[in-house]
Structure 1
Amino acid sequence: MKPWGTRILLIGALFLLSYTVRLKQRQTPQGTPSPGPGPGPGTVELPDGTFTFRLDPAAFRAEFPQLQSYRCRELIPGDGVCTGAPGPPLLLLAVKSHPASSARRATARRTWARPGVLGGYRVRAVFLLGMSPEPRHMALLEEESQEFGDVVLWDFAEIHHNLSLKERCFLRWVGARCGQADFIFKGDDDEFVNPPALVAYVLQTPNAAHVIHGNIQRHSVVMRGGKYRVSSALFPQGKYPNFPSGGGFLLPRASVPGLAAASERIPVFPLDDVYLGFLALAAGLRYRHDDRFRVFGMKDELCLYGEAVLVHGVSLDRVEEVWRGLYTERRCNGTGPLPS
């Protein structure tokens, strides 16, 4: 391992220790601050024509201080992902992953995440990660970075609420290191992504470069319990703004500056897909819904995968089987070519 890889492990261990201590000190019972008398100064108001959403920075600082105070710092910068000689326009596959998910990344690299040129677009993947407390996971990640050069690692802990930090920091990363990407697909490592269908979708959709594409959730109900719980003290309203489901969506390059600017003034919401919805609303961006973004799964039939842009929640073995059936054995009519 290179010396700087050893430093990553040391920095990560120290960071996670201090992070855990700070988090325990700051948490209130059930993670819920006492409700105040009402929205404080600096409250952000975001109307969408149906509702006006109010975000009180003081409430966010009280309940999720680590999300509001974090400043993006890259331990592995991924500065070679978008470099190279000028060529076809770039379609970047930005994949949220966990340090422990090396097998998922390996499967993706063998199938849908391998680089190439497809339909006039250069397709390139980058994996987005936070820190793990397991040195073994971090060592494997460093080896992957050296071999493939497709990893960006930040020094926040890889936990559920920090996915919103991954969203915010990625917007900064794109602006600094990959501003030439014409389209950015954001997805997860536990899914089947179909780059030929994705490129075909871009080429066939009018005004594709002017809207955000995905499976759009419209005024979803706020959940007060379970994994996606949000307290009424943090967000008292009962509905969210529209947002693209985090399982997979497509951003055009023109949307990135507005989203990044909004991330500098909007409190970091603890659910990453809802957070993007707030950023898009603040930036005045529009959506296009398409059912081919199969974020909630579908009937497990090979040719349906060929029609989808993505299918969320697919096992590793099934990803390999589907890829082989569509693009090696060619068992479905109408599937496009593989990246060259």
Structure 2
Amino acid sequence: MRRWGAWILLVGAALIWLLHTVRLKLRQTPQGTPCPGPGAVELPDGTFTFRLDPAAFRAEFPQLQSYRCRELIPGDGVCTGPPGPPLLLLAVKSHPASSARRATARRTWARPGVLGGYRVRAVFLVGVSPEPRDMALLEEESQEFGDVVLWDIGESHHNLSLKERCFLRWVGARCGQADFIFKGDDDEFVNPPALVAYLHQTPNAAHVIHGNIQCHAVVFRGGKYRVSSALFPQDTYPDFPAGGGFLLPRVTVPALAAASERIPVFPLDDVYLGFLVLAAGLRYRHDDRFQVYGMKDELCLYGEAFVVHGVLLDRAEEVWRGLYEERRCNGMGPFPS
């Protein structure tokens, strides 16, 4: 009986080991799908190999694959001017209807100026709206402030990836002198003084992408961020910076733009950037101060953060005044003009 018991235990252990091996293998390869067809892109990251089949992307999101970036407002004056301090460009995704958000940003964190040895300048990245009034107001803003780039992209959740791709082209053509680019949204509080201090304090800041890095995030099969198994059969994504806010050094832009010419346009903009980063062979630096998922609503915590996502307009103005005009937290000074 003892021999039978030992034999059963040995067989059980072998079966457990075999099951674990099979599960691990399944995680690293697409499940229940044929081998990718001709032209498929394979991107290994050292843990997984991610496969993108252009045919699947053309079938499910043809408009993302066929669109060619066409500027209606080129924003060609955003980065012009005489030589001066290095440029920190705040590139902000916005909607034509969000004029109040852009106005708040221009009064607070997106105002142009020189800060800590950097020239700070904002540009708002916008698609088209079917509302004529929104488009007329946007045209007026562009004429007054000169800080708008408008593409003939319809505003939608999936089309944010096209803004990512078109922005990389725009930077290469019209703003190649930007030393660092902060990418974010217009419903945020952004902290340029903290960003500039971070750039001064971080060794080799110009050689990595900075953000709140999501490591092998799970693929959602339902809801707003749904991705079908036919489009992307694997159950995890490559690492990517959360889209609420991250920093790109100038040296990364040409490699990302080149990758965007051969990688299918993924329908989630932050994941799409992750694929581009992997294809370009670039590296990340994670920092929790990119508070892209919100934080406790305390004034001095805003002073430590680089970006806080989802901040109401009135609150963004209150925070800016408290930090940089009334100086209600230690170490906070005025934003230079």
Q: TM-score, normalised by structure 1?
A: 0.89
**Deviations, residues 128-147 of structure 1 (Å, cap 9, x unaligned):** 00010100100000000000
Q: Which residue of 2 aligns with 1:129?
A: 126
Matched, 1:309 2:309: no
Give, as a single letter, the amino acid of the residue that structure 2 aligns with 1:44.
V
- Which sections of structure 1, spanning at least 5 residues, go unmatched? 1-34
Contact in 1 for aligned 2:325/2:333 (Cα 8 Å): no
Report the Cα distance in structure 2 between the residues aligned to 1:215 and 1:337, rounded to whole angstroms.
27
Contact in 1 for aligned 2:324/2:335 (Cα 8 Å): yes
Report the Cα distance in structure 1 between the residues aligned to 2:129 and 2:37, rounded to whole angstroms.
36
**Deviations, residues 122-163 of structure 1 (Å, cap 9, x unaligned):** 000000000101001000000000000000000010101000
Give, as a single letter, the amino acid of the residue that structure 2 aligns with 1:287.
Y
Deviation at residue 336 of structure 1 after TM alignment:
4.3
Deviation at residue 39 of structure 1 after TM alignment:
1.2
Q: Which residue of 1 aligns with 2:264?
A: 267
- Indicate which of 184, 189, 192 corresponds to 1:187: 184
Give, as a single letter, the amino acid of the residue that structure 2 aligns with 1:112.
W
SS class of match (1:113): coil
- Indicate which of 211, 230, 234 corresponds to 2:231: 234
Q: Which residue of 1 aligns with 2:76?
A: 79
- Indicate which of 40, 43, 46 corresponds to 2:40: 43
Report the Cα distance in structure 2 between the residues aligned to 1:222 and 1:36, rounded to whole angstroms.
16
Q: Which residue of 1 aligns with 2:55?
A: 58
Q: Which residue of 2 aligns with 1:20?
A: none
Report the Cα distance in structure 1 between the residues aligned to 2:336 and 2:151, rounded to whole angstroms.
30
Report the Cα distance in structure 1 between the residues aligned to 2:95 and 2:269, rounded to whole angstroms.
15
- Indicate which of 291, 295, 303 corresponds to 2:292: 295
Matched, 1:321 2:318: yes
SS class of match (1:276): helix
Contact in 1 for aligned 2:33/2:233 (Cα 8 Å): no
SS class of match (1:251): strand
Matched, 1:140 2:137: yes
Matched, 1:257 2:254: yes
Runs of 4+ in 1 over 6 A off after TM superposition: none
Report the Cα distance in structure 1 between the residues aligned to 2:133 and 2:297, rounded to whole angstroms.
35
Q: Which residue of 2 aligns with 1:106?
A: 103
Report the Cα distance in structure 2 between the residues aligned to 1:180 and 1:327, rounded to whole angstroms.
28
Contact in 2 for aligned 1:116/1:123 (Cα 8 Å): yes
Give, as a single letter, the amino acid of the residue that structure 2 aligns with 1:76.
I
CA RMSD between the two structures: 0.9
Q: Which residue of 2 aligns with 1:25?
A: none
SS class of match (1:322): helix
Q: Which residue of 2 aligns with 1:200?
A: 197
Deviation at residue 38 of structure 1 after TM alignment:
3.6
Q: Which residue of 1 aligns with 2:283?
A: 286
Report the Cα distance in structure 2 between the residues aligned to 1:295 and 1:235, rounded to whole angstroms.
25
SS class of match (1:95): strand
SS class of match (1:296): coil
Contact in 1 for aligned 2:327/2:334 (Cα 8 Å): no
SS class of match (2:180): strand
Q: How many pairs were matched up?
A: 306
SS class of match (2:238): coil
Which structure has the bigger radius of gyration? 2
Report the Cα distance in structure 2 between the residues aligned to 1:129 and 1:235, rounded to whole angstroms.
28
Give, as a single letter, the amino acid of the residue that structure 2 aligns with 1:219.
H
Report the Cα distance in structure 1 between the residues aligned to 2:276 and 2:91, rounded to whole angstroms.
18
Deviation at residue 37 of structure 1 after TM alignment:
4.2
Matched, 1:248 2:255: no
Report the Cα distance in structure 1 between the residues aligned to 2:232 and 2:59, rounded to whole angstroms.
12
1:232–1:253 CA distance, 2 compared to 1 (3 A): same
Contact in 2 for aligned 1:197/1:336 (Cα 8 Å): no
Q: TM-score, normalised by structure 2?
A: 0.90
Contact in 2 for aligned 1:187/1:246 (Cα 8 Å): yes
Matched, 1:331 2:324: no
Report the Cα distance in structure 2 between the residues aligned to 1:192 and 1:90, rounded to whole angstroms.
20
- Indicate which of 205, 209, 223 corresponds to 2:220: 223
Contact in 1 for aligned 2:88/2:180 (Cα 8 Å): yes
